[in-house]
Every structure is written in structure tokens, then in C-alpha cells.
Structure 1
Amino acid sequence: MLKIGVIMGGVSSEYEVSLQTGAEMLKNLDPAQYEAVPVVVERREDLLKQVAGLDFALLALHGEFGEDGTVQGALETLGIPYSGSGVLSSSLCMDKHLSKTILRSHGVATPDWLCWNSLDEVNANAADRLGYPLMVKPNNGGSSIGMTKVNCREELRAAAEKAFAEGGSVLAEQYMNAQEITCPILDGKLLPVIGIRSLGADWFDYSAKYVQGGAEERIITLPPAVQQRVQEAALRSYAALRCAVYARIDIMLKDGVPYVLEVNTLPGMTATSLLPQSALAAGMSFSGLLDELIRLSLAEQRGTGRREVAGHV
């Protein structure tokens, strides 16, 4: 029986979301197959002591230390296999500015953006050229934490200050009044596409993502030509950013054209999360999805030796 450590918590602003993901994973791991052990990390230095003796690490972390390749590198050093993408892919996808630059170089459409490394770099004239409204958010953040919809230049500085308070650089991104969809990928194959509509705010904020009833999320059927373009954009993004095992590609669909917002290498797995919903529509229970993540991740590490070669283009 595999001893599975569900690693959750972490050091980022997404600590609470990570605990929710971890709790859901623990609840759905098959006790007939696995000895499930909760591993709650609150300081970086705690990890090494807590993972001793594990056969596999199921990552429920989000944000810094979880999605940026740091914990993946530590686990590789210890020889402990883990779920999802490797060090390179994790760090690429965590950096929105870098990942959008790579996507553009591979012919994937993504909304125009600016990246600022300090408050002194915030340039209202450049933001004006992007056009309003625009979204201001931490370059390395997730779960919409520190993110603001900016409707005019007078709101720009306060939004930038809020984003910079989360640490690191900040992205100002063109806002798209378009259909928001998400495209989960498992083992290099696109799962059913989910359409998203916030029921409170006019964009998909933290409450919409994690509060029951905060958003309408449903499996949608796109016209064949649009479905083909969406699939191509999602799979090209997955490959360009060296993803492995699974990921979730967030997209804005405008006039039948998919614009990729970001690629999530450790998407949420809470009771309201999108990936489990999509897997269920494909006939896969939450427990079955976890089985696949573990099986595929073990095969990925054993089969390649170096995870970064997955999805090489």
C-alpha cells in the first residue's frame, strides 16, 4: 500500500485555499489503496522533516513554494515522486509575464499586458494605451488575491499598491469583455470545457471561485470550429510551458478566438473547483481522478527521469 502524503498549507496567501484542496483530497483517497497522511506545511524548513518515509507526495499547495517549482525541487532532491508538472514547468507557469511571453512566441493569443517590478515603474500613460478597464494583479499570485479591476487611470495606483503588497512584480492586463472558459487537461487530452460566469462581481474574483453559489460553472458545448481552436490553444499552451500529467488552461473566448490568460499547474481541487467538475463530466469521480494523477505522475517520473522533457516542442 502506497503511503501518500497530501502536502498542503504553505507560505503563500493561498494557504486557506490549499487547506481546502488538501482536505478534499484526503477525503477522496481510496483507503483500500493508500495510506493517506496529511502534511501541513507552515514554514519552508518544516517540509524536509515531514515527508520522510513517504512513497508519494500529492501536492495540494498553491502559490509561492507550491506552484513555483520550489517544493518540486526539494522533493526531487529527496527522491520522493510527486504529482503534476516538474520544476521547470512549475516555475514558468507561475510567472505570468514569462509564460505569456512564451505563449506569444508559440503563436498563442493572450491579452496585451505590462509588467512592473516596483511601484516606481507604474506608468499611467502605458496603461492608458492598454485601454480601460484593465486587470491589475500580482505576477506570481493566484486565486484572484491582490487582483483589481481598474476602470480608469485614477484607480490605477491604488490597485498597483494592493498587488505589490502581495510581493513580487505586478501585471496590468487588458480586460476582455468575453466569455470565460477553462480547459482542464489530463494526460495530454482535453477534458470537457467549462464556461464560467460570476454571479456577484463582474469578474471571477475570490468569492466567485471559492464560495458556494458565487459563480455559474457548467459544461458547455462549443461550435465545432471554435472547439477546435480552443483545443489547439489549450494543448499548445500545455506543451509550450512543458506541463506534465495535468493542468488547467484559463481562456477568454471573444468572437470565436481563444485568448489564454494563464496555465495552472496545480489547479484547485476543492469541492467547488473546476477540474473535478470537468473530470466528473467525463465520467471520472474525484477518487478516480486522484488515482489517475498518482498513476500518471509515477509513470511520468519513472519513464522520463527528467520531467521537463514532457511536452517538449
Structure 2
Amino acid sequence: MQVGVIMGGVSSERDISMLSGKYIIDNLDRKKYEVLPIPINTQYELIDRVKCVQFAFIALHGEFGEDGTVQAMLKSMDVPFSGSNVMSSALCMDKDATKKMLVGLKVPTPKWIMVKKGKEFKIEDIEKIPYPLVVKPNNGGSSIGVNIVSNREGLIEALKTAFEFDEEIIIEEFIGGEEVTCCILDGKLLPVLSIKPKKDAWFDYKSKYEDKGAEEIVVKLDKEVEDEIKKMTKVCWENLKLKVYARIDVIIKDKKPYVLEINTLPGMTQNSLFPKSAKAAGISFPKLLDEIIKLSLR
């Protein structure tokens, strides 16, 4: 089978996408697959370059990757692709829409407010949520453009930074606690990883992608918390109609878990969380890639 690995793209996460793509290419079983790297710089390049492939492995992140756009293009061209469908991809990329769904499903998530570039808003309205606050692009990832602020001056500066990456910004209450990530393969929860940055105060871009930037280990949770996380992730998987694989980021405070966000195309670099969680379940990276392809085709 000829597998095209689509990487690069147009988003601020292009560099991470290239790393994901390379790691996928290096680990696909050459006895099973003819591997075709497809690095793209524009959306239009994709149309000509995927016509000949039998399967598209999407290693894109952010805009034109996780937002349903590339999935819609591949679907219209009748090219099978990895991961969730158009609707689920678009929904989970939009943090505001995802959180509204979570509230409706009674899944705890930090309080938030969204502001839009060019639309008037009052700092006082934002400050109804107590400091510290997390400021992040609504449609971003990899912690790019994200800041934690503790006062108005910091908030104004963080908004300026975040607006460089998106026209919609989420301002969210900061919940201090244990950050964990829940990787799901075919609806089944893999070992939960605890995330503890080694150098930085929180799990930012450097902690995620630098070698030894964070300690990520399988965590033994209290049964009550573990049961709640299993319930929450199942609700998310089923109701947001996720497919094949996904990663759900959670914060635990006072034995209460909160869903932070849902990733339909988790990072696949050598430092990424999903391969580490799969490894803890006894699934090698080449085997994980096999499973993703098999499940996507199914």
C-alpha cells in the first residue's frame, strides 16, 4: 500500500508537523508500505500530490490540519486518511465550541470567556474570572501564543501576543493541579501519563518538544479519580464522535478532573505524549502506526 505522509502546512505549528512527519516516515514498516513524504507549503499543493496515494497519513497540526479542512479535501478526492472526520476535527479545533459541548455534556472544564479581534470587549468583564488567567488562541495548539497572567498589565500584553496567532482568544481560569494526558486508541484509554515540566512552571512549547523538557510517566490515580477520568473520556469520545485516536488533556485538582482540550491529531514526534502512552501499553511506534492505518481504513 502506498502511504503519503502529509506534513508541513501553513500553521504556526509547521515545524512540529515536520518533526511528526519525519518520525512517522522513519517508523512506517517498509515491508508493508511504500512511503511517500508529502511536505506542503500551501493548501493548493495537496491536490496534485495526493492523487496517487492509497492512504494519507495526516501529520499536520493546527490550521489546515486539525480543523477539518484537509480532511474535507481528502474526502472529496476519495482518498482515505488517518484520524477523525471533518466535523469532529473542526469542533475539537475550536476550543470555545468544544467547551460549550463539554458544559452541555456535564463534563467539568475550566471557566472561560472568548473575545474576538475587532469586536469591543471590556477588561473588567474578563476579570470577573479571578486571576491567574490562561490566555490562548482559540484555534491554536502546541502552547504557541499561550501565557499565564496574574494581573491586568500581563493580561493586556498576553492578549496582544495571542491575537498575533488567531482572531479569537480564550481567557480561561487557571486551575493549579496535576496535569495528565489521556490517549485513546479505538475508544480504549491507554495508560494515563502525568506531566511535570522540569524547567518551566507549566507545560509550554519548550517543555513539550525539547529533549527532557518534562517528566512524563504513567501515573497511578486514586480509583475514584481514575473512574471519573474513564467516564469523562468515554463521554468525549462518543459525543464528539472521535475516530481512531485522540488525546484529551486533563487537570486534576482536589481529586476533581477537568478537561482542558481535545486533540484529534496528537503530536507524533519522538518526544510526543501519544507514542509514550502507547509504549507504556506495550505498543511500539511502528505497531501504533499500523493500528492507526488499519482503524482509519475500517
Task: Quote the residue 2:259 is aligned against.
Answer: 260
Equivalent residues of 1:136, 1:150 under 8 A apart: yes
Task: Quote the residue 1:20 is aligned against.
Answer: 19
Equivalent residues of 2:137, 2:145 under 8 A apart: yes
Task: Quote the residue 1:142 is aligned against.
Answer: 141
Matched residue type, 1:144: S
Question: 1:237 and 2:236 equivalent?
Answer: yes
Give 1:119 deviation, angstroms: 5.7
Partner of 2:43, secondary structure, is: coil
Q: Structure 1 unaligned runs (5+)?
A: 300-313
RMSD between aligned residues = 0.9
Residues in 2 aligned to 1:57 and 1:242: alpha-carbon distance in whole angstroms:
20
Residues in 2 aligned to 1:259 and 1:149: alpha-carbon distance in whole angstroms:
17
Give 1:23 deviation, angstroms: 0.3
Give 1:176 deviation, angstroms: 0.8
Matched residue type, 1:237: C
Q: Show CA shifts across 1:199-218 (max 9, x none).
A: 12211100000001111111
Partner of 1:251, secondary structure, is: strand
Task: Quote the residue 2:297 is aligned against.
Answer: 298
Partner of 2:134, secondary structure, is: strand
Q: Show CA shifts across 1:22-54 (max 9, x none).
A: 000000000000001100010011000111110
Show the 5 A alignment for 1:179-218: 179-218=178-217
Equivalent residues of 1:103, 1:240 under 8 A apart: no
Equivalent residues of 2:138, 2:166 under 8 A apart: no
| Off by >2 Å, runs of 4+ in structure 1 | 119-123
Equivalent residues of 2:137, 2:169 under 8 A apart: yes
Residues in 2 aligned to 1:172 and 1:47: alpha-carbon distance in whole angstroms:
34
Q: Structure 2 unaligned runs (5+)?
A: none
Partner of 1:130, secondary structure, is: coil
Equivalent residues of 2:2, 2:55 under 8 A apart: yes
Give 1:121 deviation, angstroms: 3.4
Task: Quote the residue 1:281 is aligned against.
Answer: 280
Partner of 1:129, secondary structure, is: coil
Provide closer, same or farther for how the CA distance between residues 197 and 7 of structure 1 changes in structure 2, counting only shifts above 3 A: same
Matched residue type, 1:140: N
Equivalent residues of 1:122, 1:157 under 8 A apart: no
Task: Quote the residue 1:153 is aligned against.
Answer: 152
Matched residue type, 1:60: A
Identical-pair percentage: 47
Give 1:240 deviation, angstroms: 2.0
Residues in 1 aligned to 2:150 and 2:185: alpha-carbon distance in whole angstroms:
37
- When normalised by structure 1's length, the TM-score is 0.94
Task: Quote the residue 1:304 is aligned against.
Answer: none
Give 1:168 deviation, angstroms: 2.3
Equivalent residues of 1:7, 1:22 under 8 A apart: yes
Residues in 1 aligned to 2:291 and 2:64: alpha-carbon distance in whole angstroms:
24
Give 1:101 deviation, angstroms: 0.3
Show the 5 A alignment for 1:1-313: 2-118=1-117, 120-299=119-298
Give 1:124 deviation, angstroms: 1.8
- When normalised by structure 2's length, the TM-score is 0.98
Equivalent residues of 1:85, 1:265 under 8 A apart: yes
Give 1:123 deviation, angstroms: 2.6
Residues in 1 aligned to 2:120 and 2:177: alpha-carbon distance in whole angstroms:
29
Residues in 2 aligned to 1:8 and 1:135: alpha-carbon distance in whole angstroms:
29
Q: Show CA shifts across 1:41-73 (max 9, x none).
A: 100110001111100000100000000000000
Matched residue type, 1:257: K
The number of residue pairs the alignment matches comes to 298
Equivalent residues of 1:57, 1:81 under 8 A apart: yes
Residues in 2 aligned to 1:109 and 1:194: alpha-carbon distance in whole angstroms:
19
Matched residue type, 1:15: R
Give 1:122 deviation, angstroms: 4.2
Comparing 218-227 with 134-143, greater Cα deviation is found at 218-227
Q: Show CA shifts across 1:80-121 (max 9, x none).
A: 000000000000000000000001100100000010012653
Give 1:19 deviation, angstroms: 0.2
Residues in 1 aligned to 2:68 and 2:46: alpha-carbon distance in whole angstroms:
14
Residues in 2 aligned to 1:31 and 1:179: alpha-carbon distance in whole angstroms:
40
Task: Quote the residue 1:310 is aligned against.
Answer: none
Matched residue type, 2:110: P
Matched residue type, 1:167: D
